[in-house]
């Protein structure tokens, strides 16, 4: 490993922005579940169930939203996070009563 790569690895390992990853449950289970083919509800459902027992689910979800991650992160699929990021639809027609 080059000195630059080693320095980058060291910096990432000590980056407080990713310190929550030390508490992630997913490295202990089959990673394939988290990166299944799109539309595979069995694998994504199993991954999401694992996330529900993870202490850092909120931090993980925030990371995935900020970094446009693929796969299941923070108990959500890529499609679900895409929906979360969309702006709320207009509520025109709903106004203050005079």
Under a CB-based contact definition with an 8 Å cutoff, are residues 37 and 50 in contact?
no
Spatial neighbors of 60 by CB under 8 A, at least 6 apart, are 20, 24, 51, 54, 73, 74, 75
Least CB distance to ligand SF4 at residue 26 (A): 3
Least CB distance to ligand SF4 at residue 24 (A): 3
Binding mask 31-60 for ligand SF4 (x = CB under 6 A): ---x---------------xx--x-xx--x
Least CB distance to ligand SF4 at residue 65 (A): 12
């Amino acid at each position: 490993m080059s000195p630059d790569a080693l320095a980058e690895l060291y910096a990432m390992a000590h980056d407080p922005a990713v310190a929550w990853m030390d508490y992630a449950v997913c490295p202990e289970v089959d990673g394939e579940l988290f990166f299944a083919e799109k539309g595979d509800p069995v694998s994504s459902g199993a991954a999401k169930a694992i996330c529900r027992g993870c202490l850092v689910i909120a931090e993980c979800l925030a990371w995935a939203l900020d970094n446009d991650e693929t796969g299941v992160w923070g108990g959500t699929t890529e499609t679900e996070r895409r929906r979360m990021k969309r702006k709320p639809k207009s509520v025109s027609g709903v106004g203050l009563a005079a």
